Structures are given as C-alpha cells and as structure tokens.
C-alpha cells in the first residue's frame, strides 16, 4: 500500500542505468531508449523522467524485448480487435510545445502487415490531431490531421527497422514526415490552432488482429532545428 519504496527504487534505477528520459540537455523533451528496463515484462508508466509512457490503454501489451531490434524495444500487441489501444508518452514537466520546431524520431519494425498507430496530440488529452499515422494491413502508411485525410503517403516492409522522423514547425502550423531519410510529406498544414504538442501515442488500431506484433525502438523528442544535440545512435 505504501508506494514510497517502489518510487525510491525507480529513482535509483533511473540514476544507475540511464533510463531517465532526457538527461541534462535542455533541448531534449523525451528520450525513451528502453535500456535498463526489465526484459520480457510490461513497461512501467513512470513518465518522461524514466523514459516510459504515462499511461497504457487497458488490454494493450507493451513488453520490453531484447530482440528483434538491435537495442531494447517495446513489443506491442493486443488480444482482441475493435478498439484502438495506445501507450501515451508525454514530455518532461508535462510541457506542451507551442512555438519553434519539434523533432520526433522513432524506430519501428512490424512482424507482419497489420494496423499500427503513431499519433501526435496535445498534453493531457487527445482532442487535437496534429498527426495520425496508420501503418495498415496492406503495407501502406496512411496519414491524417485536423485538416483531414492525406490518404496513403508511403509504404513499409515487414521485418525491417524503419526510422520515422516527424518535424513540426509550430510557428508556421506545418509539419514534414520522413521515412528512412525519404520525404513522404513536406510543409503540410495540420490545422490545429488552439493547443501545442505534448504527447506521442503509439499502439494498435481498431482493426489490428489479435496477436500481431509491432516493435518500437528509441523514441526521442527534441526542440530546435531538428538536429539532435547528441545524435540518434
């Protein structure tokens, strides 16, 4: 019933294993590497300070695995279709970014063609769609935002680690999408005017088949010109 020992252990673990979400760089808002997390267990929900989500939708499995990515990753799956289930990652200090550029990078690998979501939303809630990306069961990548649907913008492969880069220009109200260094979308207006970006949601979609597996490697969010201060190794 007393959560103090558990919280103390989490603090010690973060300090000694490097799983904390940003380190000392003020430009880094989230750095979820999953290094130092217990393997083959559901990830915790300690937030950006620990490189963890703040919440996981009931029924979503988000287990830390040593493979297939070369570094620890989250394995996403669910047991039943019909509901989208996401792990919600927010930024240090519950920050919501309203000005400047915001760079979001994440590694993704699919074990099969099926539905997987990458959504960008405001802090605390999910009413404002800065971006909704869906990796579909047909091998396509579909995109939409507050301004509507872009349809299919690209494709992905099974068993391949893809590097997804989302660069938001908040003062202009636009964003770019790159996959493996190839531009899929450039200068698209997202249509959100009332809020800033404060969360990244990752997980399964309403049509994802039970047992389908998707892997997410390092998730890193930085402010600035899109160039990481200490790289993305």
Determine contact, residues 41/63, Cβ cutoff 8 Å: yes
Rg of the Cα trace of the chain? 17
pTM for this entry:
0.86
Q: Within a domain: residue 229?
A: no
Cα separation, 10 vs 213, whole angstroms = 28
Q: Within a domain: residue 38?
A: yes
**Looking at residue 24, what is its pLDDT?**
58
Q: What are 7-62's pLDDT values in tens digits?
A: 344 444 444 333 445 555 779 999 999 999 999 999 999 999 999 999 999 999 99
Q: What are 171-219's pLDDT values in tens digits?
A: 999 999 999 999 999 999 999 998 999 999 999 999 999 999 999 999 9
**Looking at residue 26, what is its pLDDT?**
75
Q: Within a domain: residue 48?
A: yes
Nearest to 199 by CA among 139, 117, 136: 117
Q: Within a domain: residue 228?
A: no
Peptide bond into 68 cis (omega under 30): yes
**Looking at residue 226, what is its pLDDT?**
43
Q: What are 131-148's pLDDT values in tens digits?
A: 999 999 999 999 999 999
Q: Within a domain: residue 233?
A: no
CATH number of the domain bearing residue 206: 2.60.120.200
Q: Within a domain: residue 230?
A: no
Q: Within a domain: residue 207?
A: yes
Nearest to 111 by CA among 133, 92, 135, 142: 135
**Looking at residue 125, what is its pLDDT?**
93
**Looking at residue 225, what is its pLDDT?**
58
pLDDT greater at residue 17 or residue 87: 87
Positive or negative CA dihedral for 115, 121, 126, 131?
Answer: negative
**Looking at residue 100, what is its pLDDT?**
95
How many domains does the chain fold into?
1
**Looking at residue 224, what is its pLDDT?**
77
Q: Within a domain: residue 231?
A: no
**Two tokens at 79?**
């047991």
Residue range of the domain that includes 18:
4-223
**Looking at residue 25, what is its pLDDT?**
76
When mean pLDDT is compared across 81-95, 148-162, 216-230, the lowest value belongs to 216-230
């Amino acid at each position: 019933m007393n959560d103090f020992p558990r919280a103390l252990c989490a603090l010690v673990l973060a300090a000694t294993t490097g799983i904390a979400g940003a380190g000392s760089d003020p430009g880094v808002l989230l750095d979820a590497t999953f290094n130092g997390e217990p393997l083959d267990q559901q990830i915790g929900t300690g937030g950006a300070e620990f490189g963890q989500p703040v919440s996981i939708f009931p029924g979503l499995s988000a287990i830390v695995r040593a493979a297939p990515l070369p570094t620890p990753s989250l394995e996403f799956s669910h047991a039943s279709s019909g509901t989208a289930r996401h792990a919600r990652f927010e930024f240090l200090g519950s920050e919501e970014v309203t000005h400047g550029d915001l760079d979001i990078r994440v590694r993704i690998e699919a074990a099969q063609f099926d539905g997987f979501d990458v959504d960008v939303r405001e802090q605390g809630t999910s009413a404002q769609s800065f971006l909704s990306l869906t990796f579909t069961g047909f091998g396509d990548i579909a995109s939409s935002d507050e301004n509507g649907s872009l349809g299919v913008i690209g494709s992905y492969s099974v068993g391949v680690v893809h590097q997804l880069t989302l660069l938001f220009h908040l003062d202009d109200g636009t964003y770019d999408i790159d996959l493996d260094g190839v531009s899929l979308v450039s200068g698209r207006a997202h249509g959100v005017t009332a809020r800033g970006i404060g969360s990244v949601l990752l997980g399964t979609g309403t049509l994802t088949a039970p047992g389908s597996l998707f892997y997410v490697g390092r998730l890193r969010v930085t402010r600035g010109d899109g160039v990481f201060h200490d790289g993305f190794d």
